[in-house]
Amino acid sequence: MKLKHTFALSIFLVFSFFTHAQTATTMDTFDSNFAHTVFFWLNNPDSQEDCKAFETSLRKFLDHSEYAKTKFIGKPPRASREVVDGSFTYSLIVTFESAEAQEAYQKEAPHLVFIEESSALWKKVIVYDSKDASL
């Protein structure tokens, strides 16, 4: 009888993992539960070397994050209206399945390494976090 319960529990755990864990497919899916939008102003925005170092570190970090779903790295387009702020050098949009996942992301090693590697490259960072208004 104990073996039967162990088998049933094993099947349940495997099913739960594959239906709820983030996979390579879901990591690029926009999750509206929690959005983390970051704007970076580099010290030397016209330096190709600094931009390459920043982008390389940022991509390495995102490729190794266990929690980030959407991984959008942007640069400002040419402003078409006065309300568009194009003063930043890079933007980052990362989404998470929950606020708890975003908190874990803040403490994970790839994120901390990115900050260590790249913080000397920027003079300003602004973060806007938001959650789904219907939750």
> Which has the closest alpha carbon to 60: 128, 109, 11, 102?
109
Apex 25 CA angle, 103 and 91, nearest 5: 50
Please report the pLDDT score of residue 82 as a whole number.
85
Please report the pLDDT score of residue 28 as a whole number.
58
- DSSP at 65: -
> Any residues with CB less than 8 A from the CB of 61 and at least 6 apart, and which?
110, 111, 113, 114
Please report the pLDDT score of residue 109 as a whole number.
96
Contact 105, 111 (CB under 8 A): yes
Please report the pLDDT score of residue 81 as a whole number.
86
**34, two tokens:** 């929690």
Give the torsion sign (CA, 89, 95, 100, 105): negative
**91, two tokens:** 């933007």
Give the torsion sign (CA, 95, 98, 102, 104): negative
Please report the pLDDT score of residue 47 as a whole number.
98
The CA distance from 32 to 80, in Å, is 27
User: Average pLDDT for consecutive 10-residue bins of the chain (135 residues)?
Assistant: 43 35 48 88 98 97 92 88 91 92 94 97 96 81
Please report the pLDDT score of residue 22 as a whole number.
38
pTM, two decimals, is: 0.75
**Which domains occur in the chain, in start order?**
24-131 (3.30.70.100)
